[in-house]
């Protein structure tokens, strides 16, 4: 046996690419979760005991506004990412804008839910409402965590500047925002456009 020890790459410097790869795997598994929820909705959305379905209450304009807001959020997030590592101010501004737009999106969704609940329809009403609330609520939960970690990473950027770890986390965060927007496109088409037609 020859003993030419391969000069081992220092694992210390390799963690960023591992993290990004791991984050992609997480996103793919999350897609599977959403695929399951979409399938449930596709089966259930006409399943309406009592003759009402969630789709009877859609406002296409509100859904379109949500879509555009989320599009802008992922756009500002992309701009923020482009400013790395040149300008800390631009990056922070970009992510701050993402945060505000994400919060606006969430406010619209909250208003939708509140409206339905005020009319007496909840996830307990029938299969159509259950699948609607779970699908849209799961996406809303992603936005909540996106907002939380946007705040956390803005704070880290302020305190630490562009360290390897901060850049890595911001990259993952932007992937997460793109993911949220990507899933929302399917919600807009499958839930709102098909439901309203």
Partner 1 sequence: MRFPKIFGFKLNEKYGEYAAYCWNLGFLLAFIPLYILGLMGATRRLDHYDAASGWRPLFIIAAVGVAVIFVGIAFQALQIWVSIKQRKQNRDTTGDPWNGRTLEWSTASPPPFYNFARIPDVTTRDAFWTMKQSKQLEKEPYEDIHMPKNTPLGLFIGLLSFTFAFAIIWFIWWLAIASLIGIVAAIIARLFETHTEVTITAAQLETMEAAR
Q: In the complex, what is the shortest distance from the CB of residue 149 to partner 1, in angstroms, rounded to a whole number?
A: 8
Q: Is the Cβ of residue 20 or residue 190 nearer to partner 1 in the bound state?
A: 20
Q: Is the Cβ of residue 95 or residue 192 nearer to partner 1 in the bound state?
A: 95
Question: In this structure, are residues 155 and 170 in contact, taking their beta carbons and an 8 Å threshold?
Answer: no
Which parts of this chain interact with partner 1 (CB under 8 A)?
A: 1, 3, 5-6, 8, 10-12, 148, 152, 156, 169
**CA–CA separation, 29 and 32 (whole Å):** 5
Q: In the complex, what is the shortest distance from the CB of residue 93 to partner 1, in angstroms, rounded to a whole number?
A: 22
Output the DSSP codes for 108-166.
HHHHHHHHHHHTT--TTS-HHHHHHHHHHHHHHHHHHHHHHHHHHHHHHHHHH-S-HHH
- Closest among 23, 65, 17 to 179, alpha carbons compared: 23
Q: Is the Cβ of residue 87 or residue 156 nearer to partner 1 in the bound state?
A: 156
Q: Is the Cβ of residue 1 or residue 32 nearer to partner 1 in the bound state?
A: 1
Place of tokens 């020890």: 5
Q: In the complex, what is the shortest distance from the CB of residue 143 to partner 1, in angstroms, rounded to a whole number?
A: 15
Q: And the tokens for 186?
A: 């399917």
Q: In the complex, what is the shortest distance from the CB of residue 39 to partner 1, in angstroms, rounded to a whole number?
A: 22
Q: In the complex, what is the shortest distance from the CB of residue 79 to partner 1, in angstroms, rounded to a whole number?
A: 24
Q: Is the Cβ of residue 11 or residue 89 nearer to partner 1 in the bound state?
A: 11
Cis peptide before 137 (omega within 30 of 0): no
Q: Is the Cβ of residue 12 or residue 124 nearer to partner 1 in the bound state?
A: 12
Residues in Cβ contact with 193 at an 8 Å cutoff, skipping those fewer than 6 apart: 60
Question: Count of alpha carbons within 13 Å of 154, Cβ hemisphere only?
Answer: 20
Question: In this structure, are residues 128 and 45 in contact, taking their beta carbons and an 8 Å threshold?
Answer: yes
Q: In the complex, what is the shortest distance from the CB of residue 1 to partner 1, in angstroms, rounded to a whole number?
A: 6
């Amino acid at each position: 046996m020859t003993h030419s020890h391969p000069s081992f790459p220092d694992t210390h410097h390799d963690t960023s690419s591992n993290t990004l790869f791991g984050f992609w795997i997480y996103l793919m598994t999350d897609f599977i979760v959403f695929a399951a929820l979409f399938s449930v909705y596709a089966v259930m959305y006409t399943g309406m005991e009592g003759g009402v379905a969630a789709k009877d209450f859609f406002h296409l304009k509100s859904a379109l506004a949500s879509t555009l807001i989320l599009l802008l959020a992922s756009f500002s997030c992309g701009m923020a990412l482009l400013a790395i590592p040149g300008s800390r101010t631009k990056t922070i501004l970009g992510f701050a804008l993402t945060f505000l737009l994400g919060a606006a999106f969430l406010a619209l969704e909250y208003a939708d839910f509140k409206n339905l609940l005020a009319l007496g329809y909840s996830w307990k009403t029938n299969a159509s409402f259950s699948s609607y609330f779970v699908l849209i609520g799961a996406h809303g939960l992603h936005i909540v965590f996106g907002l939380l970690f946007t705040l956390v990473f803005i704070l880290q950027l302020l305190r630490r500047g562009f360290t390897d770890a901060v850049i890595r986390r911001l990259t993952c965060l932007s992937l997460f925002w793109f993911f949220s927007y990507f899933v929302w496109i399917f919600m807009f088409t499958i839930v709102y456009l098909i439901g309203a037609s």
